[in-house]
Structure 1
Amino acid sequence: MATGEMHSTNCGCKGIRTCLRCEAEESKRHLLQKNELIHYDFIYDPVLKSAVPEVENGTQKSFVFPGIFLWENFVSEDEERELIARMDQDVWRESQSGRRKQDFGPKVNFKKRRVHAGNFTGLPAISRHLVDRMSKSPQLASFKPVEQCNLDYDPQRGSAIDPHLDDSWLWGEHLVTINLLSDTVLTMSLDQGWGDMDDGEVRVAVHVPRRSLIVLYGEARHRWKHAIHRKDIHSRRVCSTFRELSEEFLQGGEHEKLGSELLDIALRFRGVPL
């Protein structure tokens, strides 16, 4: 099956992406065979703001892990129920790797570096109070989201998201995610070596509690890839990820006028999923 071709099953996977549905197809099984690398595994300690060895064996040492901000109990149980109920009133569309999604944002072609408003009508109304609450934190005082993506993960679909770096041409310094319905693990990875660990992949497991908010910035945003592995989805998980504009689209940037237009639409909070 050629890259980019849709599968015959009712899923949203393309190219090398897979879920439990399309993995049942003979044409996809070869993609499950992956090269084995040496792995150095750590767990993020939010108090120490450090990555500590998963197994204390004396050969691996803790190190400061920059660029993670975790806000536990960002939303209440009642807010969580309301958020999920409102999301489920809208259509969930099939996406890659067993996920479903709802997009609220401008129309973007990252390869050609083109962006325009398209049918974008803003972030959803229910997000207004969430964005206002975010701004109360010094870490997010200047954060102005221009895009929101809701993702639905389900173990029965084999939902996951592969290690990746978010675009930095359009999207700015902070990636903000609200985690709903279940705890999960965000796996940060670096395959270019770190310190004395230069012959394999370094992985840091960041435990993300239910109803918490997590921010990636700095090196965690721009150098370390992030992923949600299938093994860390045990029940339905819904998340909302908010992205801001890069400096190129802000005051003084090359595309300041377009950025101002997109922000004006986003922060009207009248959006419907695209």
Structure 2
Amino acid sequence: MEMSCACKGIRTCPVCEAAGKQPKLFVKDTEVRTFDYCDRCMKAWERGSSVHPNHMGPGLAFPGIFIQPNFVSKAEEAAFVDKIDKTAFVESQSGRRKQDFGPKVNFKKRKVRSACFSGLPDFSKPIYERMKKLEVLSDFIPVEQCHLEYTPERGSSIDPHFDDFWLWGERLVTVNLLSDTILYFICDEHPGIEVHVPMARRSLIVVYGEARTKWKHAIHRSDISDRRLAITLRELSSEFSDGGARSEEGQALLDIALTFRGYAVQ
């Protein structure tokens, strides 16, 4: 089957690159130094400085990452993938495909439309209930769920970016299915440095704090070696939460989300 492309702006994939579009490389002019994150130390260590607990050098403080290995079982993973694959994907940028379960949002005009929003999918309810047993997510209430498919054939990747701060809250949660990969981070305060955070198959990762607000996150094309499905859940920002200027609107969205009767928004 011939692959098509949904890339816009500077984003590219092998399909549009083969048609002549110049790829945009997110690499600093200086040589990149790679730091590997250690979830036991909650610090990042320059590659080659041995393994925990025998790290060498001062390390780099990197607060705002929580990893729960084996968050789902092999049987649950297979069931979730089966559910996801029964829903049509929409082509996205940078060689990805996606499914969205959330309100329609115009971030530029700061408008949210809930008319087509029917809630999160039914299979995510046990994921949500299990998440709330983790201390870091005990008060986390998801309002949006997104499924992203990455494949090496499509050269799937995602450019360094911040998730929106106006609508989405501090914690970004991802359940990583089907294959391992690396989530990498860059920051203007640390030029020439990439922090690589491992995302093991069937693990859950939470990005919050400085890792969310100071560091852009991304995935290199070269770190996708097999098909990967990411289930990402987001919470509302303070503007849409209790006491916020748009709290009533936010509560209405949550009421829809937690019905767990949703279908993907096309």
Q: Does TM-score exceed 0.5, indicating one fold?
A: yes
Q: Which runs of 5+ in 1 are unaligned?
A: 1-8, 194-199
1:225-266 CA distance string (max 9 Å, x none): 100110100000000100000111011110011000000000
- After superposing the two structures, state which structure 1 stretch, 80-89 or 61-70, moved more: 61-70
Q: Which amino acid aligns with 2:79?
A: E
Q: What is the match of residue 187 of structure 1?
A: 184
Q: What aligned pairs does 1:225-264 form with structure 2 within 5 A after superposition?
A: 225-264=216-255
Matched, 1:133 2:130: yes
1:153-188 CA distance string (max 9 Å, x none): 000000000110111110001000000000000001
Q: Which runs of 5+ in 2 are unaligned?
A: none
Contact 2:142 2:254 in 1 (8 A): yes
| CA distance in 2: counterparts of 1:40 and 1:12, whole angstroms | 32
Contact 2:28 2:192 in 1 (8 A): no
Q: CA deviation at 1:192?
A: 2.8
Q: Alignment partner of 1:265: what SS? A: helix
Matched, 1:20 2:14: yes
Matched, 1:211 2:208: no
Q: What is the match of residue 170 of structure 2?
A: 173
Q: Alignment partner of 2:136: what SS? A: helix
C-alpha change, 1:165 and 1:252, in structure 2 (3 Å) is same
C-alpha change, 1:49 and 1:83, in structure 2 (3 Å) is same
Matched, 1:105 2:96: no
Q: What is the match of residue 69 of structure 1?
A: 66
Q: What is the match of residue 193 of structure 2?
A: 202
Contact 1:192 1:201 in 2 (8 A): no
Q: Alignment partner of 2:153: what SS? A: helix
| Number of residue pairs matched by the alignment | 259
Q: What is the match of residue 44 of structure 1?
A: 37
Q: Alignment partner of 1:97: what SS? A: coil
Q: What is the match of residue 265 of structure 1?
A: 256
Contact 1:41 1:202 in 2 (8 A): yes
Q: Which amino acid aligns with 2:245?
A: E
1:14-73 CA distance string (max 9 Å, x none): 1111111111012x1264596633322200001111101113499963022100000000
Q: CA deviation at 1:94?
A: 0.3
Matched, 1:159 2:162: no
TM-score normalized with structure 2 length? 0.93
Q: Alignment partner of 2:249: what SS? A: helix
Q: Which amino acid aligns with 1:185?
A: I
Q: Alignment partner of 1:157: what SS? A: coil
Identical aligned pairs, as a percentage? 52
